[in-house]
Structure formats: C-alpha cells, structure tokens
C-alpha cells in the first residue's frame, strides 16, 4: 500500500459548504481552514452555484464529498455520473474526492439514501475492481467514509474496520472516518465505539467528520441537525491524535444555523485536541444533550426487502 503524505491532508478545521452561506463567505471571507462541497450539488448546476463554488475555491481549499456513487451496488458503475464528476474535479481541483461505503440503488432505482452493505469476502471482492475503476476515471485515490447503520447483516463475517483495512490494502483508497457514524452505529448495534477505533486502520485516514444526531433512547438517528455531543467529542480526541491531525470537518445539514454558529461549533475541536486526557474535559451526560424525538432527516422507509431478493450477492447458498 502506498505511503500517505500526511502533510497533504492536514487542512485543519473546516465546515460543509451550504448555499445559505454563499453570500456571507464570498463577502466576509471568514477564517475557515477549508470547505467540503457536496459533489452532486454542483455537478449539473451551471450558473450561480457553480460560479459561487469557483469563487470560494479561489480563497479556500475545497474537498468534494459525494452521496450517489453507489460503490457497493450490484449495478454497473454509472459511467455518466463518474465522467460528470471528473469534469467537476478538473474544474475545481479539490484536494480529494470522497463518497460512502454503501449502495444507494440497484436495478436502475435510486433510493437517495446511504444503505449499508453486508461485510464479507464476497462483497470485498465485488468492491475492489469497482474502486479501481473509479480511481482510474478520477485519476486519484478515492476516499471512502464509514456509514451510519441501524441493522447488522447475518451474512457479515468481517468487522467494518477490518473490511476497510483490506479494501485499502487492495486498492490504495483512503478513508474518511466519520466519528458521529461510529458512535451512532455502535450504539445501535450495542457495541463499544472505543473498541471500533482500536481496530480502525488509522494509517489510511485522511479526513474526519463530526456531526450532531438525534438520540431516541433505544436508538440514534444520524441527522446532522445539531451540535456535536460530548461522547462524540471524546471519540474525536482519540481519532484526531491517532490520525496525526487529519483534516476535520463539521457537517450540519438540517436546521442550518448562521455561519458564525456553525464555525464556532467546529472550533470547539481545538479544546478537545488540546486536552492532554479526556479526563481534562467536563462533558455532560449525553441524554441531556441529545434526547429529541423530532423529525428525522434520514428516513428508513425503503423497499429494501423487495430489492434485496433480486440481488445476486444476497441469494442463499
């Protein structure tokens, strides 16, 4: 596996680029280290959105983050999508391009959601040539993010950290470690997030994600619509140091606050980075911060059983 040049990935603390902040960013040029732009929001949009992205890219490092590559689907990769993404990459020159370890559709249908994969050797071998194909088209390493999950598959035989380690070894892809997703998935599965981090291949991590979620008591929904809870900040402290200061970004997609509040939230990372030990901090119990049964931005209603029954990889042996 190719050695990662850490200096290329230590961008500091960034925030997700949202259109409600375009004017503020262009006018004020706030002291943000970098921005992450959702690829699909700009791939097909000319005019003002693309012009704004070009102007912002003149002053800040930009990373592209996608939600529709569907790297895990059994459908062939969408070459039209990849070539349109490559055109955006050539124009904006992002530091890197990321998407998710998931599938978003099959049989020509798009769920518009990030659906989890069973993690086993068959799926690993299915993904390896697809990652190579994407990297050949984009002419750069693909960065893949661990998704938030709500179920476990009985066909899974490999832990997510080990699965990602094997995928990186076979393809030289990189990893975006979403700390909130680790917390959400481990809580929903009843597993230990610290043990997940202990197993994770940090030598391939180039970026970290932070976000808020909705705690529903028995389960957690990944909603990106509030501040980061202290339990996630504690995991971030570990992940940031183990990743040698990987670029860190705050996602906030629902009830997006004014830019100053968004920026202030990601700057809280400085306190957690500087802490010599987690015991230096004084976190509040998570139940007091996140108990919220409002609307969900990640709906689960989808025709998964019908689609899965027609998928080759999931047929019973």
DSSP 175-210: EEEEHHHHHHHHHHHT--HHHHHHHS-GGGEEEEEE
Which tens digits make up the pLDDT trace of 206-229?
A: 999 999 999 999 999 999 999 999
Answer whether residue 8 shows pLDDT above 90. no
Two structure tokens written together for 55: 């102007």
Residue with tokens 């997703």: 181
CB–CB of 39/83 below 8 Å? no
User: What's residue 287's pLDDT?
Assistant: 42
Statement: residue 13 has pLDDT above 50: yes
Q: What is the pLDDT of residue 281?
A: 58
56-74: pLDDT as tens digits: 999 999 999 999 999 999 9
pLDDT score of 290 = 42
- Gap between the Cα atoms of 102 and 117, Å rounded: 6
- Given a cut of 90, whether residue 14 has pLDDT beyond it is yes
- Cα torsion at 138, 140, 142, 143 (round to 10°)? -130
> What pLDDT, on a 0 to 100 scale, did the predictor assign at position 262?
96
- In tens, the pLDDT along 242-265 reads 999 999 999 999 999 999 999 999
**90 three-state secondary structure:** helix
Beta bridge partners of 144: 99, 175
Alpha carbon 296 to its chain's center:
18
CA 172/CA 168 separation, integer angstroms: 5
pTM, rounded to two decimals:
0.87
Picking from 2-6, 247-251, 306-310, which range would have the lowest pLDDT averaged per residue? 306-310
Please give the pLDDT value at position 110. Answer: 85
Strand 109-115 versus strand 103-106 pairing type = antiparallel
Query: What confidence score (pLDDT) does residue 85 get?
Result: 97
Reported in sequence order, the residue ranges of 146-268 that DSSP labels E, i.e. its strands, are 174-178, 205-211, 214-215, 220-221, 247-251
Question: How high is the pLDDT of residue 280?
Answer: 54
Indicate the pLDDT class of residue 5, thresholds 50, 70 and 90.
Answer: confident
């Amino acid at each position: 596996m190719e050695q990662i040049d850490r200096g290329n990935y230590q961008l500091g603390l960034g925030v997700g680029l949202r259109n409600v902040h375009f004017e503020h960013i262009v006018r004020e040029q706030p002291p943000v280290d970098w921005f992450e732009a959702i690829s699909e929001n700009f791939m097909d949009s000319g005019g003002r959105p693309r012009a704004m992205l070009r102007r912002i890219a003149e002053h800040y490092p930009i990373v592209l983050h996608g939600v529709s590559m569907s790297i895990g689907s059994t459908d062939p990769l969408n070459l039209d999508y990849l070539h349109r993404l490559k055109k955006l990459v050539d124009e904006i020159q992002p530091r890197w391009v990321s998407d998710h370890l998931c599938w978003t559709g099959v049989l020509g249908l798009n769920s518009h959601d990030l659906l989890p994969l069973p993690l086993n050797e068959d799926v690993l071998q299915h993904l390896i040539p697809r990652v190579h194909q994407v990297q050949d088209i984009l002419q750069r390493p693909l960065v893949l993010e661990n998704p938030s999950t709500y179920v476990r598959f009985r066909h899974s035989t490999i832990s997510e950290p080990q699965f990602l380690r094997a995928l990186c070894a076979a393809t030289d892809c990189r990893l975006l470690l979403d700390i909130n997703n680790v917390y959400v998935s481990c809580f929903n599965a009843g597993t230990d997030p610290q043990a997940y981090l202990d197993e994770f291949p940090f030598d391939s991590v180039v970026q970290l994600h932070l976000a808020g979620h909705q705690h529903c008591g028995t389960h957690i929904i990944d909603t990106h619509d509030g501040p980061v809870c202290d339990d996630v900040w504690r995991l971030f402290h570990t992940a940031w140091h183990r990743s040698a200061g990987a670029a860190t970004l705050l996602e906030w997609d629902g009830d997006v606050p004014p830019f100053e509040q968004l920026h202030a939230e990601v700057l809280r990372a400085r306190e957690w980075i500087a802490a010599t030990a987690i015991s230096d901090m004084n976190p509040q119990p998570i139940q007091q911060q996140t108990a919220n049964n409002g609307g969900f931005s990640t709906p689960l209603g989808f025709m998964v059983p019908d689609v899965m029954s027609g998928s080759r990889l999931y047929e019973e042996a």
